[in-house]
Amino acid sequence: MSSPESALLAQVPTQLFIGGEWIDSTSGRSIDVHDPATGSTLLRIADASPADGAAALDAAVGAQDAWAATAPRVRGEILRRAFDLLQERVDEFALLMTLEMGKPLAEARGEVTYGGEFLRWFSEEAVRIQGRYGRNPEGTGRMIVTHLPVGPSFLITPWNFPLAMATRKIAPALAAGCTVVIKPAELTPLTTLYFARLLEDAGLPKGVVNVVTTSTSKEVSGPIIADPRLRKLSFTGSTPVGVALLKQAADTVLRTSMELGGNAPFVVFEDADLDKAVDGAMLAKFRNIGEACTAANRFIVHESVADDFAARIAERVRGLTIGRGTEEGVTIGPLINAGAVDKAHALVTDAVARGATLVEGGSAIDGPGTFYAPTVLTGVAAGSDILREEIFGPVVSIIPFTDEADAVAKANDTEYGLVSYVFTRDLARGQRLVESLHTGMMGLNVGVVSNAAAPFGGVKQSGIGREGGAEGIHEYLETKYVLTPDPFA
Ligand code: ADP
């Protein structure tokens, strides 16, 4: 490992962050965090026990009233300081994410920008939590509607965007006046630990943010979710885990936000600007090595342009550079672990067995590291697993369609509904698709939609609630209605 990497890792906390203190786990166990590009261990960190989880919730509960009473402007300014500090530490956060997650350094820097925007956006939203006041229709009283912090919140984040998934939850919670316990994914916990240190530097009071890292997520999370003092659960991850957590949350009628799986259709009409569609496809597919819930999973392309589209994508794929994300010019890093490689390969194998044509790639790359060759499949048959499951890897799967109704039917043929991408020059058709595709978000002639100022979220089994935008803060606010008598009566 080079010395900038060792120097950075030496600064990353390895303990739990509870009540403003860095403390050892009571489990006596530890987690080894790996570099997926080499398989080597980066750091050994604390592995929280259920007792540690309980202590973290105690700390969040203890800090709740004072944080809710803190002036919105003060809360906002702490978030703004965190944003400013992040700008000073872009290189460190980017390198740390590349090391623990594998994404190319340029993309990691992009995630620092994106993740940081949630801090800035919600620093601005903290002072814009507004209500209403007015006469009731009968004229006999005054109705007041106000918004109060929901209370201590538990945030569970995934490994694919280690910084942005944390800031997308922490920033609105803090802006709203909620304290939090955050549990990052055990595969990429370092960024959250390092971010907690940044929040300390930004002047965040003790106990407002608590971090528990654990290899036993279910055992540690269960008692936190069951505790009646917890008032909110926000989860980003797979649909099966989300469903299990929703069932647990039902016992205490917990407020939930769920950002779950996707199976995004990328629809290319015969009238599309094919150059732009190919550019959009490369972003929608290969950003983050395909490991994004917003990644295009099914390329649904009009039969008259499907071969041309596939040939152009294959040419671009041949120009990708695979390697460790820290290396200059690398555009495709490793997948997160061997399980991810096996899953991608199983989906490709199944598609080929059912008649798809393998145009490019189609195999794992020898280690060290867990790499999968960027792959292009055409003529993927209905019923193939790859059309139903999230690939979470660098695999383009192309299916032809005949007309708009066929495209819409194919695009909607999934239990997921996170995002769709549509490329067409026909304005009316684009507008029709906005309404006929069942997704919470749409990219119309663009391949990436994420923005801190926009409401991110899905319909159907892709989730409940929205993160970012004006909507994001309301996930952490309760609406309170008050009636008073007519003061003139
Ligand atoms: P992915 O497929 O992206 O790894 P998961 O849903 O498995 O998605 O994981 C997302 C987050 O949920 C991670 O932080 C993981 O540790 C956590 N997690 C997984 N299973 C559970 C569980 N039963 N209870 C609480 N958290 C869990």
Structure tokens belonging to residue 471: 């909507």
The tally of CA atoms less than 13 A away on the side-chain side of residue 458 is: 24
**Predicted local distance difference test score (pLDDT) of residue 460:** 98
- Cβ proximity of 318 and 416 under 8 Å: no
**Phi and psi at residue 399, to the nearest 5°:** -125, 135
Any domain includes 56: yes
CATH at 193: 3.40.605.10
Q: Tell whether the model's pLDDT for residue 466 goes beyond 80.
A: yes
Q: What stretches of 202-255 show up as alpha helix (H) in DSSP?
A: 217-226, 239-250
Pick the residue whose CA is nearest to atom 26 on ligand 1: 217
From residue 324, give the alpha-carbon distance in Å to each of 105, 289, 334, 396: 9, 12, 7, 22
Any domain includes 204: yes
Same-domain status, 117 and 233: yes
CA distance 404 to 394: 27
Residue recorded with tokens 């909110």: 232
From residue 109, give the alpha-carbon distance in Å to each of 38, 95, 276, 290, 411: 21, 8, 24, 17, 32
Q: Tell whether the model's pLDDT for residue 81 goes beyond 90.
A: yes
- Cα 251 to the center of its chain, rounded Å: 26
Averaged pLDDT, 343-355: 98
Averaged pLDDT, 121-141: 98
**Predicted local distance difference test score (pLDDT) of residue 3:** 87
Any domain includes 489: no
**Predicted local distance difference test score (pLDDT) of residue 2:** 76
- Band (124; pLDDT cuts 50, 70, 90): very high
Encoded amino acid at 242, one letter: G
Question: Measured from the CA of 240, which atom of ligand 1 is nearest?
Answer: 6
Any domain includes 66: yes
Averaged pLDDT, 234-260: 98
pLDDT digits (tens, 9 = 90+) for 182-200: 999 999 999 999 999 999 9
Pick the residue whose CA is nearest to atom 16 on ligand 1: 185
Same-domain status, 63 and 204: yes
Please say if 259 is a catalytic residue.
Answer: yes
**Predicted local distance difference test score (pLDDT) of residue 49:** 98
pLDDT digits (tens, 9 = 90+) for 258-270: 999 999 999 999 9
Question: Measured from the CA of 245, which atom of ligand 1 is nearest?
Answer: 24
Same-domain status, 286 and 149: no
Question: If DSSP codes are grouped into helix, strand and coil, which group holds residue 420?
Answer: strand
CA of 145 to the centre of ligand 1 (A): 36
Question: Measured from the CA of 186, which atom of ligand 1 is nearest?
Answer: 16
CA of 458 to the centre of ligand 1 (A): 18
Pick the residue whose CA is nearest to atom 18 on ligand 1: 217
Query: Choosing from 117, 178, 291, 293, which is the catalytic residue?
Result: 293
Query: Choosing from 259, 291, 390, 467, which is the catalytic residue?
Result: 259
State which of 193, 212, 241 you would mutate to test the pocket of ligand 1, scoring each by most atoms of that ligand within 8 A of its C-beta: 241
In the chain, % of residues over pLDDT 70 = 100
CA of 238 to the centre of ligand 1 (A): 7
CA of 381 to the centre of ligand 1 (A): 31
Question: Measured from the CA of 222, which atom of ligand 1 is nearest?
Answer: 24
Averaged pLDDT, 332-349: 98
Question: Measured from the CA of 242, which atom of ligand 1 is nearest?
Answer: 6
Averaged pLDDT, 61-90: 98
Averaged pLDDT, 98-115: 98
CA of 237 to the centre of ligand 1 (A): 6
Same-domain status, 244 and 286: no
**Predicted local distance difference test score (pLDDT) of residue 288:** 98
Please say if 293 is a catalytic residue.
Answer: yes
Same-domain status, 234 and 319: no
The kind and range of the H/E element at 456 are: none
Give the 3-state secondary structure percentages of the chain, helix then strand then coil, rounded to 5: 40, 20, 35
CATH at 360: 3.40.309.10
- Cβ proximity of 345 and 354 under 8 Å: no
Pick the residue whose CA is nearest to atom 14 on ligand 1: 185
Residue ranges making up the domain that contains 181: 3-260+463-480
pLDDT digits (tens, 9 = 90+) for 15-38: 999 999 999 999 999 999 999 999
Same-domain status, 434 and 321: yes
**Predicted local distance difference test score (pLDDT) of residue 13:** 98
Ligand 1 lining (C-beta closer than 6 Å)? 156-159, 183, 185-186, 217-218, 221, 237-238, 241, 244
Q: Tell whether the model's pLDDT for residue 1 goes beyond 90.
A: no
CA distance 41 to 58: 32
Pick the residue whose CA is nearest to atom 23 on ligand 1: 218
pLDDT digits (tens, 9 = 90+) for 43-60: 999 999 999 999 999 999
Long-range contacts for 428-436 (Cβ within 8 Å, ≥24 apart)? 429/269, 429/271, 429/404, 432/404, 433/267, 433/408, 436/408, 436/412
pLDDT digits (tens, 9 = 90+) for 134-148: 999 999 999 999 999
**Which one-letter DSSP state was computed for residue 298?**
E
Same-domain status, 217 and 147: yes
Domain count, the chain: 2
Same-domain status, 210 and 349: no
Q: Could you tell me the pTM of the whole model?
A: 0.98
From residue 335, give the alpha-carbon distance in Å to each of 316, 340, 447, 457: 20, 6, 21, 24
State which of 101, 156, 247 you would mutate to test the pocket of ligand 1, scoring each by most atoms of that ligand within 8 A of its C-beta: 156
In the chain, % of residues over pLDDT 90 = 99
CA of 243 to the centre of ligand 1 (A): 11
Question: Measured from the CA of 241, which atom of ligand 1 is nearest?
Answer: 6
By DSSP bridging, strand 296-302 and strand 463-464 are unpaired
CA of 78 to the centre of ligand 1 (A): 29
- Cβ proximity of 41 and 32 under 8 Å: yes
**Predicted local distance difference test score (pLDDT) of residue 237:** 98
Structure tokens belonging to residue 370: 């867990």
Same-domain status, 254 and 351: no
CA of 239 to the centre of ligand 1 (A): 10
